[in-house]
Structures are given as C-alpha cells and as structure tokens.
Amino acid sequence: MRKDEEGNECPETLGEYRDLCHAIAPDSKAVEFLDQKIEEDSEGRNAIVIASDLNMRTLLMPMLAEPVLTPHEYKEGETSKAICPECKKLVPTTLRTRDHTLNEMTKAVLVSVCDECNTTVGIPHSSAKAFH
Ligand SMILES: [Zn+2]
C-alpha cells in the first residue's frame, strides 16, 4: 500500500480501489467505473494508480453515493398501457414475442401489443438493441 498526503495507507492499484469501493458500496457507480477501468487496462487489477489518493477520493466519492441503475427487464406477458395508433386511444398492452422488422432485419423479439386490436404499439429499448 502507498501512503496518502497525510501519511495514511491508501490503495495503490485499480484493484485495491475497486475492492475498497466494493466494501463501502457494492452497487455503486464507483465499482462499475473501476471495473471498467480494470477491463480497459492491460495491467488489469494490478495497474498502479498514478493520480493522488486525494484526486481519486474526489473522483470516487460522488460515485459511491450513486447507485447503478439496472435497466428494467421486460418479460413476456407483462402488461402496461400505451396509445395504440389503430385504436387511437389509451389501451391495455401486453408484451409478446413476435417477429418484428426493423432496418430490413426480422427478428423474434418482445414487443408491446395492443390488447384490443393486436397491433404492435411499441418495442422496448432492450428489444430494439437486437437490431443494431
Ligand atoms: Zn389497438
């Protein structure tokens, strides 16, 4: 371990900072940020942090308070409400797996379907990603 400007022991490598952040706030953005840095660095967890501990703390502190937003996981059969372009009103919808064509590709993905006329009224972001 290296020492900070006050002579206290402080983390030296990306891995040590990551473990420290993980011990304080496992689901925080700081852990996600450091995991990404570790992945990008050829030295991985053993990469020596050049920035001073003070700089690292200034950088990581706000991230420790910030939870990682886990995207909503869409499931078949999930119901919601949407404006249907055919019914021209707010209708109940259900998520169903359907062949959907986008960018000249057809894939079976979860789409939001109007319960009244069976029209596809929306496509969740996670399904749209399948076309990129
Ligand atoms: Zn409809």
Calculate the average pLDDT of the chain.
Answer: 92
Place of tokens 């206290």: 8
Tokens at residue 45, please? Answer: 């967890």
Residues 60 and 84 in one domain: no
Residues 57 and 87 in one domain: no
CA distances to 29, 32, 62, 95 from 70, rounded to whole Å, are 11, 12, 18, 20
Does residue 88 register a pLDDT over 80? Answer: yes
Give ion ligand 1 contacts, CB < 5 A.
84, 86-87, 114, 116-117, 119
Could you tell me the residue range of the domain that residue 104 belongs to?
Answer: 79-131
Compute, in angstroms, the gap from residue 88 CA to the centroid of ligand 1.
Answer: 7
Compute, in angstroms, the gap from residue 3 CA to the centroid of ligand 1.
Answer: 65
| Nearest alpha carbon to residue 23 among 39, 9, 11, 12 | 11
Span 49-54, average pLDDT? 94
pLDDT tens by residue, 3-49? 888 898 999 999 999 999 999 999 899 999 999 999 999 999 999 99
Residues 52 and 85 in one domain: no
pLDDT band at 126 (very low <50, low <70, confident <90, very high): confident
Q: Has residue 71 been placed in a domain?
A: no
